[in-house]
Structure 1
Amino acid sequence: MSIKNITNQQTPTKVPIGAFTLENGDTLTDVELAYERFGPEGAPVILICHALTGNQFAVGSKESPGWWKGLIGDDCPIDTTSFQVITFNVLGGCHGSTGPASMDPSKEAPYRQNFPKVSIRDMVHAQHKALDVLGIKEVHAVIGGSLGGMQTLEWGLLYPFFMKQLYVLAATPYLSDYGIAFNHIGARAIEDDPAFNGGFYEDNAQLQGFEIARMAGMVTYRSGTLFQKRFDRHQKDSLYDIQSYMDYQGEKIKERFDANSYLYLLEAMNHHDISRGRGSLQEAAKQFKAKLYTISFQHDLLYPRELIETFSDHVPGSEHHHVLTDYGHDGFLVEFNQWGSWMQEKINEGAVNHHDD
């Protein structure tokens, strides 16, 4: 029996996890996580963790394909005829999970900036609780890119025996100063916009600062080589194509993402550091029990190969794969034909070995 696509972007399916206490000691009541679930009932489970402006719709539908459609699906590298795939919208997100745009039950109004700060570890603990509610006591693999990769690393340390494999794409054991710098530019652009009103804005669509934040991010997600090949200084009327593209991306983000959630997730990324409370980075690296696979992408400014590969070398039995691409950091969202087969081989091989155990 197969689990059909029981979610869509209009009416997200949610799992209630009740009261949830965060790392900082604050407790949220009546927490929900929105999720997407595909694949044969009873098949090994693969947990997918999404990136900054992602959501639970990794697969999506025919009418509205998900952000990892082509990597996940029937006869894809992550094959939903053999595996059951679950993706949660993160705690603090804005696609159905409890976050700044959710109603604060104590005030009968949205939390907005009254929402407590969340960490990457909070996101993972909430997902673990949600899986428990769904009756899932173990998963075959946890896979994520960027912010999703940060979550994946924490999954391997917070619940080391919960999974057999970890796949970390375009993510590092801590966010670099370069990444924090660009996050700061984005946050300041949003917060200094008069329409932001301290987070209590009337309309997300009015936030021009949010547009600028997205444009700043886009510069780091793609490479100069890709921009040159795609736009080649082509100009229409008074604007270069690259300028029109940036304007389009700025407008688009306001239609699908909440600015407060964006700020909360940026802050969580800034504080990401797997060595926090675990000794040195090398000591933390030795605590992984699941098989760790890391993937880096050429021209990734935010999560460079050198940092990912050096860290991977400290993890016993880990394997690293580097992808040549002009897409830079966004390489984990495209060109699956270049690296998907590598991942597929490892996932299937692990499933066979797991079955033999």
Structure 2
Amino acid sequence: MASIITTGELTHVAIGDFHTEAGATLPNVTIAYQAWGNYTGDNLILVEHALTGDSNVAEWWADMLGPGKALDTNTYCIVCTNALGGCKGSTGPSSPDPTGTPWGSRFPALSVRDLVDVEKQFLSTLGITKVHAVLGGSMGGARALEWSLMHPTMLRGALVMAVSARASAWQIGIQTAQIDAIEQDPNWHGGDYYATEAPLRGLAAARRIAHLTYRGELEIDERFGTDPQQGENPLGTHRSSTQRFAVQSYLEHQGLKLTKRFDAGSYVTLTEALNRHDIGRGRGGLNKALGASTVPTMIAGVDTDILYPYHQQEHLSRNLGNLIAMAKISSPVGHDAFLTESRQVDRIIRRFLLLVNQEIEDDRLFLHHKEN
């Protein structure tokens, strides 16, 4: 049986060289992960984090993880890796190359398929060949969807939340605007800034753009409206960057928070991976790829999602070859509701796992009947 450290501590696994979909090679890749529960060989649930998330599910999905919770650690072994290209323990642009110099601009572009394949390589390194279920939202949803198409024989079920079958032109546009904000920062230096000052202003600007797509228009307007920031006057005779609306201050705060915990190079790398997301590429188009899916899959979306509108999840549900359920998260929050609406997401995960377990039992009974 595989040796998985399930105490929740951050653990690093060397998986050897990795070859990207586009043809680049990364030597000596390390994947960081955290795991909780007791691994019995057939009860592993793979949780996929979002763009600026990490492997610490116990922090960003605390209401979901633990004994008796939706991700029940008494029943399942919950594993989450830090995505390749990230900055929380797995190999990324800030990691040292074989000479000890940060990869920087020499770090290869990645696709969502690369993020999945490197995760499979990680599991193979640990001797794991079966996954009970994979689930995630946003970039994590894209990874879960690709898992179901790339390695269907390893999975018993997939829960795909708040994502589309491919990046839309609007998504690519808004995401490349974020990349451009970082690359226009004088401290970017083409991605080779690790020995100097990081492009924090560009990263903060990118986050401000992104955050407006993560939250709902109604929520933002209800919270801030046209109110000025306390003690400031944005309606003076001349515009001043020190005289702000309340929403400006809020977005600046969100940008500053990200700069304290995330690397600009990783942000560019993973955002570009989302730009390349297209399950139809090389598979005869979106609907043919979806129709060929054999893994029992549940789709969930958010009714106020601006970034991945609910009609995109409806498209997935209409065309998937093995859809087991569809769910809608109702919230003014927008895209981030899959992280914030704990009660609704709890019910979705529980229903998903129940349906997957029913499918497994039905298959077992069918085989037993056939043998007799």
Global fold match (TM > 0.5): yes
SS in 1 for 2:118: helix
- For 2:142 and 2:355, the matched residues in 1 are separated by 24
SS in 1 for 2:37: strand
Asked whether the equivalents of residues 159 and 352 of structure 2 are also in contact (C-alpha less than 8 Å), the reply is no
Q: 1:125 aligns with which of 100, 103, 117?
A: 117
- Unpaired segments ≥5 residues, structure 2: 233-243, 365-372
Q: Which amino acid aligns with 1:212?
A: A
Where do residues 246-285 of structure 1 align in structure 2 (5 Å cutoff)?
Answer: 246-285=251-290
Structure 1 residue aligned with 2:92:
99
Q: 1:115 aligns with which of 107, 112, 123?
A: 107
- For 2:251 and 2:196, the matched residues in 1 are separated by 21
Note the C-alpha offset of 1:128. 0.5
Q: 1:338 to 1:18 in 2, by over 3 A?
A: same
- For 1:117 and 1:204, the matched residues in 2 are separated by 23
SS in 2 for 1:276: coil
Structure 2 residue aligned with 1:48:
47
Q: Which amino acid aligns with 2:7?
A: N
Q: Which amino acid aligns with 2:269?
A: Y
1:231 aligned to 2:229?
no
Q: Which amino acid aligns with 1:280?
A: G
- Unpaired segments ≥5 residues, structure 1: 60-65
- For 2:153 and 2:300, the matched residues in 1 are separated by 22
Asked whether the equivalents of residues 136 and 144 of structure 2 are also in contact (C-alpha less than 8 Å), the reply is yes
Structure 2 residue aligned with 1:62:
none
1:299 aligned to 2:293?
no
SS in 2 for 1:31: strand
Asked whether the equivalents of residues 39 and 81 of structure 1 are also in contact (C-alpha less than 8 Å), the reply is yes
- For 2:319 and 2:199, the matched residues in 1 are separated by 47
- For 1:203 and 1:220, the matched residues in 2 are separated by 31
- For 1:251 and 1:344, the matched residues in 2 are separated by 35
Q: 1:71 aligns with which of 43, 64, 69?
A: 64
Q: Which amino acid aligns with 1:322?
A: K
Note the C-alpha offset of 1:229. 2.4
Note the C-alpha offset of 1:206. 4.9
1:324 aligned to 2:327?
no
Structure 2 residue aligned with 1:219:
212
1:163 aligned to 2:155?
yes
Asked whether the equivalents of residues 6 and 34 of structure 2 are also in contact (C-alpha less than 8 Å), the reply is no
- For 1:322 and 1:4, the matched residues in 2 are separated by 32
The total of aligned residue pairs comes to 345
Where do residues 17-36 of structure 1 align in structure 2 (5 Å cutoff)?
Answer: 17-36=15-34
Note the C-alpha offset of 1:144. 1.0
CA offset digits 1:240-293 (Å, max 9, x no partner):
332221111111111111101100111110010000000021110122111111
Q: 1:3 to 1:101 in 2, by over 3 A?
A: closer
Note the C-alpha offset of 1:336. 1.6
Note the C-alpha offset of 1:352. 5.0
Q: Which runs of 4+ in 1 moved over 4 A?
A: 202-206
- For 1:204 and 1:215, the matched residues in 2 are separated by 20
Bigger proportion of residues as strand: 1
- For 1:27 and 1:316, the matched residues in 2 are separated by 34
TM-score, structure 2 normalization:
0.89
SS in 2 for 1:293: strand
Q: Which amino acid aligns with 2:281?
A: R
Structure 1 residue aligned with 2:236:
none
Q: 2:7 aligns with which of 5, 24, 47?
A: 5
- For 1:188 and 1:342, the matched residues in 2 are separated by 36
Asked whether the equivalents of residues 176 and 302 of structure 1 are also in contact (C-alpha less than 8 Å), the reply is no
- For 1:339 and 1:15, the matched residues in 2 are separated by 30
TM-score, structure 1 normalization:
0.92
SS in 1 for 2:57: coil
Task: Give the number of the structure whose alpha-carbon radius of gyration is greater.
Answer: 2
Asked whether the equivalents of residues 145 and 171 of structure 1 are also in contact (C-alpha less than 8 Å), the reply is yes
Q: 1:75 to 1:229 in 2, by over 3 A?
A: farther
